[in-house]
């Protein structure tokens, strides 16, 4: 994804652990977590909800994108991330 190299003006860590969970991308400076969800996430919505609740309780905002959306509309995804920063 286009989060490497401070392209958005902040550093994102890939596969960053927070408590018992491993986040896809995490910006520690802004307490922002980006999760990329594939098809399996449609079947694990309860798990994702618990995970999001845990991260929120630690002060993190979680944004989720479907893999397909990232692959077909990266500009819109990056704009949503910029707005959230």
Q: Are strands 61-66 and 32-37 parallel, antiparallel or unpaired?
A: parallel
State the pLDDT at residue 39: 64
Dump pLDDT digits (tens) for 22-60.
999 999 999 999 998 876 655 677 888 899 999 999 999
Per the listing, tokens 């845990």 go with 54
State the pLDDT at residue 73: 83
Query: Yes or no: is domain 4-84 CATH 3.40.50.10800?
Result: no
State the pLDDT at residue 83: 86
State the pLDDT at residue 33: 96
DSSP 29: T
Domain residue ranges of the chain, discontinuous segments joined by +: 4-84
CA 10, 4, 48, 82 dihedral sign is positive
- Give the pLDDT mean for 60-66: 93
Q: What is the pTM of this model?
A: 0.84
């Amino acid at each position: 994804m286009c989060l490497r190299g401070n392209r958005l003006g902040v550093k994102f860590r890939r596969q960053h652990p927070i408590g018992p969970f491993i986040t896809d991308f995490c910006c520690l400076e802004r307490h922002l977590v980006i999760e990329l969800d594939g098809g399996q996430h449609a079947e694990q919505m309860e798990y994702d909800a618990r995970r999001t609740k845990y991260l929120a309780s630690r002060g993190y905002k979680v944004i989720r994108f479907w893999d397909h959306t990232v692959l077909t509309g990266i500009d819109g995804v990056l704009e949503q991330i910029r707005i959230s920063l």
